[in-house]
Amino acid sequence: MPSPAASPVSSAGAWFDAGVRPLIAYMPDVEGATWRPAEAAPTAAEMDAIAGAARADGATPRIALTWAAGWQAGAMAMALAAGVLRDGLLLRGGLEVLVHRDGWVADVRVDDRRAAVGPASPAAFADAVAALCRPTIEALAGRSGRGRAGLWAQVADGVGAAAAALAGAEPRRPHDELIAAARALLEAPGAPWRTAPGLRSAPAERGPVLVVHRGSCCLAYRCETTPAPEYCDTCLFREAADVTARVVAASDSGPA
């Protein structure tokens, strides 16, 4: 991972807004979303609303709340990992998430009054992400009946997503260095997940892409409205070559 800045940042929020938030923000202006501290567990009412909204897609509560683990705790892990991978700095405290009423995180920000930024290490990252995400994972496990290992795997995939986002934003950054740094975070002692995504670089027409082959399953193939079981493009149940081909094809056909 990169060496941290020689001098501490003057403001955790300013540093986060300048370099990390642009990698994570999804739909910051979306209606029907509210800000809350990232460490706050989703309420029973919120989980009921997530499950209710997902019924239109044929998702049972078990499936819907599995998605929520990736949407919420995975987004938190992505935010912490992006700071570490980009600047070698770890955010401690103060992270807030903009949660849509359907359960997904639209944006992230930092409350400077509760935040600090310091040098990162894989072990410190593992401790921080476990503490930050555990309330959400525990709440979703209790409500959904899904095993914690499956939900924590969604969080690990958020670390892979951070590496992919950084690779896309900074195409001159060597993929091998970025992949090695992300793997160090994923394999850190004390990391709360048992499985992690596969990371690899693949050539594409517009330049190499960083492929994140998920280590989790979101169970979408079990949705009742799906005519036949079909796995997501980066699902762990797909072969590595198949996932790579799909990610490269999406990159080549996307906006220039």
> For every residue of the chain, which 3-state class applies, written as one string?
CCCCCCCCCCCHHHHHHHHHHHHHCCCCCCCCEEEEECCCCCCHHHHHHHHHHHHHHCCCHHHHHHHHHHHHHHHHHHHHHHHHHHHCEEEECCEEEEEECCCCEEEEEECHHHCEEEECCHHHHHHHHHHHHHHHHHHHHHHHCCCHHHHHHHHHHHHHHHHHHHHHHCCCCCHHHHHHHHHHHHCCCCCCCCCCCEEEEECCCCCCEEEEECCCCCCHHHCCCCCCCCCCCCCCCCCHHHHHHHHHHHHHHCCC
Tokens 């930050």, residue?
132
Give 169-192 pLDDT, tens digit per residue.
999 999 999 999 999 999 999 999
pLDDT for 5 equals 54
User: Percent of the chain scored above 70 by pLDDT?
Assistant: 96
- Please tell me the predicted confidence (pLDDT) of residue 6: 45
What is the percentage of the chain residues whose pLDDT exceeds 90?
88
pLDDT at 109 over 80: yes
pLDDT of residue 8: 60
